Structure 1
Amino acid sequence: MRPCSSTIRSPAVPDAPGDDASDWGLLEPLAFGSGSCALTGDDAVLAALIAVEAALTGAWADAGLAPAWLEEIASSLSGARVDRDALRRGARAGGNPVIPLVAALRDYTDRERPGAGDWIHRGATSQDILDSALMLVASRAIVVVADRLDNLGARLADLADEHRGSLMPGRTLTQHAAPITFGAKVAGWLDGVESAIAALGRIEPPVQLAGSVGIGSSFVDLTGSPDAPAALRAGLAARLGLADPGRSWQAERSPVTRLASALATALGALGRIAADLLVLARTEVAEVAEGGAGSSSAMPQKRNPATAVLIVAAAGRSPGLLSTLFSAMASADERAAGEWHSEWQALRQLLALAVEASEASAALFAGLVVDADRMRANVDLTAGLIYSEEVFSRLTRDRGRAEATAMVASAIDGPTPFAEAVPMELSTATTLVAAATVVDAALARRAARLRKRDAS
């Protein structure tokens, strides 16, 4: 998945070395303008791999286990130019991209200073570097996702407050159920977004550094110090701005699944909102509309809710990716044979989808058109039947359940409109009070989180 190219190349023209003309975003519409490529594309992963190697090299110097000049070598690695085609060939031959990358970086540093290549990747294994690099990519992506969700939450909070009194049909199992307000519906969306922000906020992407079999013995052998594994891991974490887990998670993959679960929660929350909008945007419902909605290739009259459609599609892909990552937990030995490898693209795609869907959701709500009059008209569509729960509850309170059941059934089945058949005036007062309580509670929860965030 590399929807990163900004140009379309002719199939008749051979690609430049390292370019990939097979995927430039044709089937990833949400990727356009989202920044997902810059955050999660191959170039971003390659830069993260080099950053981890540079940080590990520097960590040896930080721990006083290497010559002072090594810091300069570590700093120079960001300028290393890597032949992408050679990197891809090497990744295919060795099973992962770290092996050819290390060879390239050693060649580069040896040219800078003879013998410096001995300190590149010192004591580490490929999984140390790739796991840490993907967590570095994730740490940057989830900040962007959380920020976009926070901006979306601000818009939802305003919308909930603005429409706290805008009556609309509440729908269950596709049918009119009882009245609610659009503000209360939006408050439910807001709670989902806030839950996603909280889930992402609990994620502290960790480094991985433990050598070939996960116990750090290579670092002890290289230094003669039993404290070297912990010192180097802490130094790597500090240089990368990642968490030091205090252990190896080389074969214990819960850091990956916790991250993936938080991303899937965010995508699920956004998908639920978009799915609701698709219902409300139906021609016969027409309670909301996307600003600048998409057109049809065949039907000129259509204004498709294209952004909501694509967000639902993105959310629909996340369970499969999540399943892949949870399946990878069940691996044998100290290094997995295939299960670990299956994680790479699944995790990266989850990150990209979360970046893309959060950006698209913010853009959708920036232009969302809400028709409160249409919502109110739809409440009246069934001549009062939408109030039957309220009527039944009030009659049960005053006359008992048996009599209330008979009276409501007679009113529903009789020839007279329901609103005229029942012995009471239908009122929206209870709905408005209950819905306002829901809105106020959701706004209060968001405000409390923001106060806690600002105080920290």
Structure 2
Amino acid sequence: MTGDAHPLDPLAALGGDEASDDAVLAAMVDVERALLRAWGELEEVDVAAEAARLDAARLNAAALAEGNALHGNPVIALLAGLREQVPAEGPARDLLHRGATSQDVVDTALVLVVARSLPSIRHDLVTAGERLAELADRHVATLQVGRTLTQHAAPITFGTTAAGWLDGVTSAIDGLDRLSLPVQLGGSVGTGTAIALSAEGADAPDALRTALAAWLELDDPGRSWHTERTPILRIAAALTATVGAAGRIGAAVSELARSEVAEVAVGSGGASSAMPQKRNPVLPVLLVSAARRAPGALSVIAGALVAEDQRPAGAWHSEWPPLRELLVLALQSAAALSQLAAGLSVDVERMRDALDSQGGAAWAEPASALLARRDGPSAASAAVREALAAAESDHTSHLLDRLGLSRADLERTVFDRSSLIVDAAVARFRRVAEPGSRGEDRR
């Protein structure tokens, strides 16, 4: 009845098709096609026409599902279907999947799905980053109260807040750009011996792996990594960091958009089924939800590092669902963050009012620092504490007025620091995000 409505997954509407079942199946067929072409190069035979015939759309979905459950992985049933698409006569049928094992296909296909998803994630992160950079520049002199452990702490600007969010986005982009996306080709026990025997050369497995990587536009790791799972862990960690960076912004926006704070507003809010006046910050909520799910998926993949023998019983299999979950969460979080950043608005007056509340107590630290330079630390501390105590009973005067300090002088230093922080954050983002960077030209 519900079809693809995803009633318990609101993020699903924001994307993730790049990592769908169809996308994974297509990637496995592409791996087999590329391996066939690589064998054709190595054996100097023409298999281009036969390779082109391989088509995921012509496979029997029911047979694949049955075979997956029967054999514990999808490749055996996949091969049965692909062999039906290759002519019985000629070299292609013999070369299809030659020397490979199921893990070679699954690992390489999953990495290929990641590679095909990264441009979309990157695009949305860069789009969000551009908007955050714009907000940081625009509000470099918009005073805001900084909060630590939920309490008012010291003056900042919203420019530095946005710059901090931008730093997380920049780090996420940089982490994804630096990923190695390796093919897997080791054969039954990771040594490539069957490939070497088939091609009559000990170096044939390396040549075949290099050709496979070239056809798929993936990295050649120079080795098999059947039980050395750090390549998958690094991918999972980078995806988790991406989801976490978006979730951190979602959490911060949720707090700043609270009714009693209202320093920012989300472009469009969701309705409440019971309270007609509410406009819920849906995108921030969904970003936080995704960020809370991601570490659990990452922990499963980290657990798969403990891999016995030349192929472990269950550890390798346990990686598949959480890796895809992380990839989908990263796709959806990047899309949601882009939308959130585009619709975010700032209430400058609310920020100023919050900073000046409580008699300007948030200025205590910078006031102490300024007075200490003139009167010494002890005298400065005593003066500020006395002024704060007086302010507790009388909020009609400002802390800085009680201390005889110029608000303009202190604000100028806050603005100067804000300008430096914002400029550095924006410059770092521009370096990472610009066309021609590692992430743009690696494929």
Provide Cα deviations, 1:374-397, integer angstroms capped at 9, x if missing partner.
111211122211111111111211
CA 1:60/1:305 → structure 2, altered by over 3 Å: closer, same or farther? Answer: same
Between the two structures, name the one with larger relative contact order (CA 8 Å, sep ≥ 6).
2
Matched, 1:56 2:32: no
TM-score (norm 2): 0.94
Shift of 1:193: 0.7
Describe how 1:344-355 pairs up with structure 2 within 5 A. Answer: 344-355=320-331
Q: Distance in 1 between matches of 2:427 and 2:325?
A: 34
Q: Distance in 2 between matches of 1:438 and 1:381?
A: 25
Q: Distance in 2 between matches of 1:295 and 1:166?
A: 31
3-state SS in 2 of match to 1:169: strand
- Residue 242 of structure 2 contacts residue 330 of structure 2 at CA under 8 Å; is this kept in 1? yes
- Residue 184 of structure 1 contacts residue 438 of structure 1 at CA under 8 Å; is this kept in 2? yes
CA 1:266/1:296 → structure 2, altered by over 3 Å: closer, same or farther? Answer: same
Match of 1:27 in 2: 8
- Residue 132 of structure 1 contacts residue 206 of structure 1 at CA under 8 Å; is this kept in 2? yes
Matched, 1:106 2:87: no
Any gaps of 5 or more consecutive residues in structure 2?
none
3-state SS in 2 of match to 1:102: helix
AA of the residue aligned to 1:429: R
Match of 1:90 in 2: 67
Match of 1:67 in 2: 45
CA 1:375/1:445 → structure 2, altered by over 3 Å: closer, same or farther? Answer: same
Match of 2:151 in 1: 175
- Residue 106 of structure 1 contacts residue 118 of structure 1 at CA under 8 Å; is this kept in 2? no
Any gaps of 5 or more consecutive residues in structure 1?
1-7, 10-20
Q: Distance in 2 between matches of 1:33 and 1:152?
A: 15
Shift of 1:440: 1.3
AA of the residue aligned to 2:313: A
Matched, 1:41 2:20: yes
- Residue 228 of structure 2 contacts residue 305 of structure 2 at CA under 8 Å; is this kept in 1? yes
AA of the residue aligned to 1:180: I
Q: Distance in 1 between matches of 2:309 and 2:175?
A: 31
AA of the residue aligned to 2:424: A
Q: Distance in 2 between matches of 1:107 and 1:66?
A: 24
Match of 1:435 in 2: 418
Pick from 310, 335, 348 the counterpart of residue 372 of structure 1: 348
Q: Distance in 2 between matches of 1:243 and 1:167?
A: 47
Shift of 1:423: 3.2
Match of 1:425 in 2: 406
Deviates more, 1:444-453 or 1:158-167: 444-453
Shift of 1:264: 1.1
Pick from 417, 427, 432 the counterpart of residue 444 of structure 1: 427
Q: Distance in 2 between matches of 1:311 and 1:135?
A: 25
Q: Distance in 1 between matches of 2:437 and 2:181?
A: 22
Provide Cα deviations, 1:148-185, integer angstroms capped at 9, x if missing partner.
11111111111111111111111111011111111111
Q: Distance in 2 between matches of 1:142 and 1:79?
A: 22
Q: Distance in 2 between matches of 1:300 and 1:24?
A: 25
Q: Distance in 2 between matches of 1:42 and 1:24?
A: 16
Provide Cα deviations, 1:34-87, integer angstroms capped at 9, x if missing partner.
2x12x0010000000011011111111011x1632x221111103661111111
Q: Distance in 2 between matches of 1:101 and 1:79?
A: 9
Q: Distance in 2 between matches of 1:315 and 1:266?
A: 9
3-state SS in 1 of match to 2:153: strand
Match of 2:215 in 1: 239
3-state SS in 1 of match to 2:155: strand
Describe how 1:208-357 pairs up with structure 2 within 5 A. Answer: 208-357=184-333
Matched, 1:133 2:109: yes
Deviates more, 1:432-441 or 1:297-306: 432-441
- Structure 1 vs Structure 2 CA RMSD: 1.8
Shift of 1:116: 4.2
- Residue 29 of structure 2 contacts residue 56 of structure 2 at CA under 8 Å; is this kept in 1? no
Aligned residues between the structures: 432
Matched, 1:145 2:121: yes
CA 1:221/1:166 → structure 2, altered by over 3 Å: closer, same or farther? Answer: same
3-state SS in 2 of match to 1:176: strand
Q: Distance in 2 between matches of 1:241 and 1:295?
A: 46
- Residue 106 of structure 1 contacts residue 116 of structure 1 at CA under 8 Å; is this kept in 2? no
Match of 2:132 in 1: 156
Match of 1:18 in 2: none
- Residue 105 of structure 1 contacts residue 117 of structure 1 at CA under 8 Å; is this kept in 2? no
Shift of 1:312: 0.7
AA of the residue aligned to 2:45: P
Q: Distance in 2 between matches of 1:341 and 1:454?
A: 34
Q: Distance in 2 between matches of 1:314 and 1:226?
A: 47
AA of the residue aligned to 1:436: S
Shift of 1:398: 1.4
Shift of 1:265: 1.2
- Residue 209 of structure 1 contacts residue 216 of structure 1 at CA under 8 Å; is this kept in 2? yes
Q: Distance in 2 between matches of 1:303 and 1:160?
A: 26
CA 1:298/1:451 → structure 2, altered by over 3 Å: closer, same or farther? Answer: closer
Among the aligned pairs, what percent are the same residue? 46
Pick from 35, 46, 53 the counterpart of residue 76 of structure 1: 53
3-state SS in 1 of match to 2:427: helix
- Residue 40 of structure 1 contacts residue 352 of structure 1 at CA under 8 Å; is this kept in 2? yes
3-state SS in 1 of match to 2:152: strand
Provide Cα deviations, 1:287-338, integer angstroms capped at 9, x if missing partner.
1111111111110000100011001111111111111111101110110110
Shift of 1:348: 0.6
Q: Distance in 2 between matches of 1:454 and 1:396?
A: 47
AA of the residue aligned to 2:6: G
Pick from 168, 193, 196 the counterpart of residue 192 of structure 1: 168
